[in-house]
Amino acid sequence: MSLSNTDVPNGVNHEACRPIREVLGIVGDKWSLLITYQLSRQKLRFNELRRALPGISQRMLTYSLRELERAGLVLRTVTPSVPPRVDYELTPLGATLLVPVQGLTDWAVAHQAEMEAARARYDEA
Amino acid sequence: MSLSNTDVPNGVNHEACRPIREVLGIVGDKWSLLITYQLSRQKLRFNELRRALPGISQRMLTYSLRELERAGLVLRTVTPSVPPRVDYELTPLGATLLVPVQGLTDWAVAHQAEMEAARARYDEA
C-alpha cells in the first residue's frame, strides 16, 4: 500500500481526523515508536527489549507489545524450550511503519539541538 | 535543514538512540502529534483546540501545549482584550515537524482497516 493518501491534505479534513486519532492512539506514542525502531534491526526477547528501552516499566512494555501484536504490527513467537523462549519481531505490516517512523526519528535528530536551546531560553524566562 | 540524516541508518546505532528517546518523549505522543496536525491549518485558541481533540483533558492539553511551546514548536500569543485572548500557532520549527507527522498520519489512514481486521482476529482468538 502506498504511504501517500491524496484524500488527506494538510488542510481541513474533519472526516479524516477520526481514524487519525484512533490510529495515533496505537502507533503515535513514544514507546510504540521506539519498540518498532528497536525491532527494525532484529527479533528481540522481552528482556532484550526492556534493556534497550531504559525508562520503560515491565507493565508498559507488556501493554505496548500486546497492543502492537493485537494491531498486527508485531509477531510474538513462543519456543517451547525450558524455560520457554518468547521472541518479538515486526510483521510485514509493522515493517511498513518503519518508513514514517524513520522520518520522525530523522526529524528528531536533526532538530534536537534547536529544541534544547529553545527549552533553555524558555526555562530562563 | 534537511529531514534526512545519514548518520542514523535503520540498523544498529546505539549512540543515536539516546536523542531519539529524548525527542520522541516530546514529539512522539498522540496528543503532541494531533495538536501539531490541528495547528497545521490555522492558529487556534485553547478551547478551539480542545473541541478539535475529543478525549483530551484540560490538564493534558495545557501540559502538551506548554511542552510544545517550551521546545520552540508552538508560539503562544496573548492579546490583552477583555477577556484576554490566547492563540496558539506553529513556529517555523514546528511547521517543519508537519512533514514527518503527515507521513505518520498518511500511514495511519492507509493501514487503518488492516489493523482493525487484525485486532478483530486477535480478540476472537
What CA dihedral angle connects A7, A8, A10 and A15, to 10 degrees?
Answer: 110
Establish if B69 touches chain A: CB-CB under 8 angstroms. Answer: yes
- The CATH number given to whatever domain includes residue A113 is 1.10.10.10
Is the pLDDT at A5 greater than 70, yes or no? no
pLDDT at B23: 60
Number of domains chain B contains: 1
Q: What is the largest CA-CA distance in chain B?
A: 58
Q: Which range marks the domain in which residue A69 is found?
A: 14-124
The grid cell for A19 is 481514524
A3 inside domain:
no
Establish if B60 touches chain A: CB-CB under 8 angstroms. Answer: no
Contact B70, A119 (CB under 8 A): yes
pLDDT at A7: 34
Q: Provide the residue-wise pLDDT of chain B in tens; the chain has 125 residues.
A: 332 333 333 333 444 556 566 666 666 677 888 898 889 889 999 999 999 888 889 999 999 999 999 999 999 999 999 988 999 999 999 999 888 888 888 888 899 889 989 999 999 98
Q: Which residues of B touch A100 (CB under 8 A)?
A: 100, 103-104, 106-107
pLDDT at A26: 63
> Which of B29, B55, B119 has its CB closest to that of A28?
B29
Cβ contact (<8 Å) for A34 and B20? Answer: yes
Establish if B97 touches chain A: CB-CB under 8 angstroms. Answer: yes
Contact A4, B106 (CB under 8 A): yes
Bridge partners of residue B75, in order along the sequence: B89
A2 inside domain:
no
pLDDT at B7: 34
pLDDT at B73: 94
The A residues from 14 to 33 touching B (CB cutoff 8 Å) are: 16-17, 19-30, 33
Residue whose C-alpha cell reads 525491532 in the numeric block: A39
B3 inside domain:
no
pLDDT at B12: 36
Q: What is the pLDDT of residues A37-66, one digit of tens each?
A: 889 889 999 999 999 888 889 999 999 999
B96 inside domain:
yes
Q: What is the pLDDT of residues A17-34, one digit of tens each?
A: 565 666 666 666 778 888
> Which of B27, B117, B119 has its CB closest to that of A108?
B27
Contact A39, A88 (CB under 8 A): yes
Give the percent of chain A with pLDDT over 70. 77
B109 inside domain:
yes
Determine the Cα–Cα distance for residues B72 and A125; give it in Å rounded to an integer: 13
> Which of B52, B99, B115 has its CB closest to that of A72?
B115
What is the CB neighbour count within 10 angstroms for residue A64?
Answer: 23
Closest chain A residue to the Cα of B101, Cα to Cα: A104
Is the pLDDT at A2 greater than 60, yes or no? no
A111 inside domain:
yes
Kindly report the average pLDDT of chain A as a whole number.
Answer: 81
The grid cell for B120 is 478483530
What is the H or E stretch that residue B48 is in? helix B46-52
Determine the Cα–Cα distance for residues B3 and A71; give it in Å rounded to an integer: 28
Q: What share of chain A is helix, strand, coil (3-state, %, to 5)?
A: 60, 10, 25
> Which of A70, A117, A122 has its CB closest to that of B118?
A70
Q: What is the largest CA-CA distance in chain A?
A: 58
> Which of A16, A112, A123 has its CB closest to that of B19?
A112
Closest chain A residue to the Cα of B19, Cα to Cα: A109
Q: Which residues of B touch A24 (CB under 8 A)?
A: 30, 33-34, 104-105, 108
Q: Give the residue with greater pLDDT, A103 vs A11.
A: A103
Cβ contact (<8 Å) for A55 and B21? Answer: yes
A112 inside domain:
yes
B43 inside domain:
yes
